[in-house]
């Protein structure tokens, strides 16, 4: 996987300009970069943690209806882990870092970030009119800082909601049931679309092609595999709910 990342980085070194939807935020964020293989419906952004309050204030006053934002505020341990949906159109999800000493970042990603972010992102991707989703990660005051957890979240979302051609898709209830049985080892029919290491790797490749700064840690990649490949019997209840309620 590390060799794959290095290879793709050598092929793509061009970032995209700020989209009109985020132009009013350019004082607080670095240029959003769309994932081209999914039509730019998912975009990755970083911000400097000291600018967080100004960023939140700007987002809460924004009236654009075709964008949604997931803010991964992971710079400092908080008194308690929490999330907050805000904005005039309820289009901003603010996820705080884990409580000090409570969980490692990768465990927090699996047990808390994914269950909080997936339903929010799903609702905004499939609403009418649909929204483009920006995933923002606090990365210090440097536009070259590598992106980690935001990339992990993007991989999961693209795997769940976009097909092998990069088109937005949603499984019907029958297919959800087939996937559940396959994951739990109760059937061997894999003719329907499922997640495996190859499809997860492909989604990561799509992201790296568009976002040269994408560099998910080994720990985050392991948690992504755990999320998709672990039989549901062994999953945390919140994680299981996030995966099966699609």
Q: What is the pLDDT averaged over residues 163-175?
A: 74
- The most confident of 10-14, 15-19, 23-27, 226-230, by mean pLDDT: 226-230
**Per-residue pLDDT at 165:** 92
Cα–Cα distance for residue pair 139/49, rounded to 1 Å = 7
CATH number of this structure's domain 2-163+195-226 = 3.90.190.10
Q: Which range among 45-49, 78-82, 106-110, 234-238 shows the weakest confidence by mean pLDDT?
A: 78-82
What are the structural domain ranges in the chain? 2-163+195-226
**Per-residue pLDDT at 182:** 46
Q: Which range among 65-69, 102-106, 125-129, 227-231 shows the weakest confidence by mean pLDDT?
A: 102-106
| 3-state class (DSSP) for residue 158 | helix
Question: How sure is the predictor about 59, in pLDDT bands with cuts at 50, 70 and 90?
Answer: confident
**Per-residue pLDDT at 10:** 47
Question: How sure is the predictor about 193, in pLDDT bands with cuts at 50, 70 and 90?
Answer: low
Tell me the sheet residues that pair with 73: 96
Q: What's the angle, vertex CA 128, arms to CA 125 and CA 130, rounded to 5?
A: 35
Q: What is the pLDDT averaged over residues 29-36?
A: 85
Per the structure block, which two tokens stand in for 195? 């997640």
- In this structure, what DSSP letter does residue 45 have? E
Residue 245 has pLDDT above 90, yes or no: no
| 220 to 54, 214, 225, 242: CA distances (angstroms) | 29, 12, 9, 17
Residue 2 has pLDDT above 60, yes or no: no
**Per-residue pLDDT at 32:** 86
């Amino acid at each position: 996987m590390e060799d794959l990342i290095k290879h793709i980085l050598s092929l793509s070194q061009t970032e995209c300009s700020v989209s009109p939807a985020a132009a009013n935020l350019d004082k607080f964020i670095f240029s959003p970069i769309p994932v081209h293989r999914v039509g730019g419906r998912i975009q990755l952004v970083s911000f400097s943690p000291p600018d967080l309050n100004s960023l939140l204030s700007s987002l809460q006053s924004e009236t654009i209806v075709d964008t949604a934002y997931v803010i991964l505020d992971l710079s400092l341990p908080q008194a308690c882990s929490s999330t907050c949906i805000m904005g005039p159109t309820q289009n901003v999800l603010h996820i705080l870092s884990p409580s000090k000493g409570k969980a490692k970042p990768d465990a927090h990603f699996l047990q808390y970030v994914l269950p909080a972010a997936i339903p929010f992102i799903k609702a905004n991707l499939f609403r009418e009119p649909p929204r483009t989703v920006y995933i923002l990660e606090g990365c210090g005051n440097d536009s070259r800082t590598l992106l980690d957890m935001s990339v992990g979240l993007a991989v999961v979302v693209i795997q769940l909601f976009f097909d092998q051609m990069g088109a937005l898709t949603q499984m019907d209830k029958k297919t959800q049931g087939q996937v559940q049985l396959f994951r739990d080892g109760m059937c061997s029919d894999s003719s329907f679309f499922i997640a495996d290491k190859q499809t997860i790797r492909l989604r990561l490749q799509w992201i790296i092609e568009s976002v040269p700064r994408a560099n998910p840690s080994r720990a985050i990649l392991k948690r992504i595999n755990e999320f998709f490949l672990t039989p549901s019997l062994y999953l945390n209840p919140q994680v299981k709910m996030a995966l099966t309620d699609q």
